[in-house]
Amino acid sequence: MADIKGNLRRFSDMENVDIAEGDPDPRGWDVVSRDGRELGEVEDLVVDTNAMKVRCLEVSLDKDTFGIDDDRHVLLPLETAHLDPDDDKVIVSTATDAIAALPPFSGEAVEADYYRGFGNYGRDRAALPAQDTERAAEDWEDTRRLTRAEEELRISKRQASAGEVRASKHVESEHVRQPVTRQREVARVERRPVSGENVRGGSIGTGNDELRVPLVEEQVIVEKRPVVKEELIISKDTVTETQDVDAEVRKERFDVQQSGDKANRDRIRKEGR
C-alpha cells in the first residue's frame, strides 16, 4: 500500500519492525474520553518512517457513541492521547464532536482530506475549520514543529522483607530464700528436792538407772513443680504511613529567540506564552 503521506505509514503495512521493548502496544485498546465515554478502539498505528516514531492512532469509532452505522476509522494525534497500560485504555482530551468531524480514514493516500482534518497536529486540536484542502496541505508542509517532553514520576510499591520477630525460651536459675515456720520438741530437765514420805524407803540401786524421752521435730521438705505464670502472644497489625519520595525529573523547555523588527518579536512572545 502507498504511504499515507510521504514518510508516514501504517505499522501493520511495515515489514521487519517491532514495538520497542518496554513500550506499550495500544492496538486493540479501548479509546475513552476523560469522562469515561467509550469512543472506539485502536486499530493500527501510523509511524513516521524518518524518525521511526508513532505519530497518530488509527481508531475505529464506536457506533453507538457517534450514531453511525458504518465502520468508520479516523486518525488521532498521539499527542492528544494518554496511554494507560494498567487498564489497557487510551484516554483522549479531544472533544467528541471534534472527533466526529474528522474525515474518515481508509488507509489510502487521501492526502487533502487527511491534512485538512489532521493539519493542526502538535497543537492538541482535532480538526481545522473547513478551508481549501490544497492550502491545508501546503500549510502542513510549511510548518515546522518542535516537541517538548518531560519526565513524569511513577511510583509503585512491592512487598519487601522488613525483618522478623522471633520468640523462644531459656532456663535461668535463681536463688530463692523463703522463711518457713516449723515445730520441734525440746527436753526440759528440772531437778526438785524430795521431802516428806518420799524420803523414807529409798534404797540404793533399786530404781531406774536410765530415762529415755523421745523428741519429735518437723522437718522441712522442699518440692518443686512447674506452674504456668504467663503467656506470650505475637500477632501482626498493618499500619499506614506516609513517606516522602524524592526524585529528580527532567523537563524540556522551549527557548525561542527571534531576530527582526520589534513587531514580529512582540507577536512571537504573545504566541509563545
Which pLDDT score, from 0 to 100, does residue 247 have? 87
Are the beta carbons of 115 and 137 closer than 8 angstroms? yes
Angle at 146 between CA 99 and CA 52, to 5 degrees: 75
Higher local confidence (pLDDT), 28 or 119: 28
* Range 233-253 average pLDDT: 89
pLDDT tens digits, residue range 98-147? 888 888 887 654 343 444 444 443 333 333 333 444 444 444 445 566 77
Which pLDDT score, from 0 to 100, does residue 21 have? 80
Rg of the chain, C-alpha, whole Å: 50
pLDDT at 269 over 60: no
* Range 58-73 average pLDDT: 91
Which pLDDT score, from 0 to 100, does residue 123 have? 36
Which pLDDT score, from 0 to 100, does residue 209 have? 72
Which pLDDT score, from 0 to 100, does residue 155 have? 78
CB atoms within 10 A of CB 140: 19
pLDDT tens digits, residue range 189-221? 998 887 776 666 566 666 667 888 999 999 999
Which pLDDT score, from 0 to 100, does residue 117 have? 44
Q: Rounded to an integer, what distance in angstroms lies between the CA atom of residue 38 and that of residue 211? A: 121
Higher local confidence (pLDDT), 57 or 107: 57
* Range 267-273 average pLDDT: 51
Beta carbons within 8 Å of 230's beta carbon, 6+ residues apart? none
pTM for this prediction:
0.42
Residue 259: band (very low, low, confident or very high) from pLDDT cuts 50, 70, 90? confident
Q: Rounded to an integer, what distance in angstroms lies between the CA atom of residue 80 and that of residue 169? A: 65
pLDDT over 90 for what percent of the chain? 29
Which pLDDT score, from 0 to 100, does residue 267 have? 56
Residue-averaged pLDDT of the chain: 78
pLDDT at 88 over 60: yes
Which pLDDT score, from 0 to 100, does residue 10 have? 87
The region of weakest confidence among 40-49, 69-78, 133-142, 143-152 is: 133-142
The region of weakest confidence among 13-17, 122-126, 233-237, 265-269 is: 122-126
Are the beta carbons of 92 and 39 closer than 8 angstroms? yes
Which pLDDT score, from 0 to 100, does residue 90 have? 93
Q: Rounded to an integer, what distance in angstroms lies between the CA atom of residue 76 and that of residue 264? A: 33
Domains of the chain with bracketed CATH: 8-153 (3.90.50.10)
Handedness of CA 111, 114, 116, 121 (dihedral sign): negative
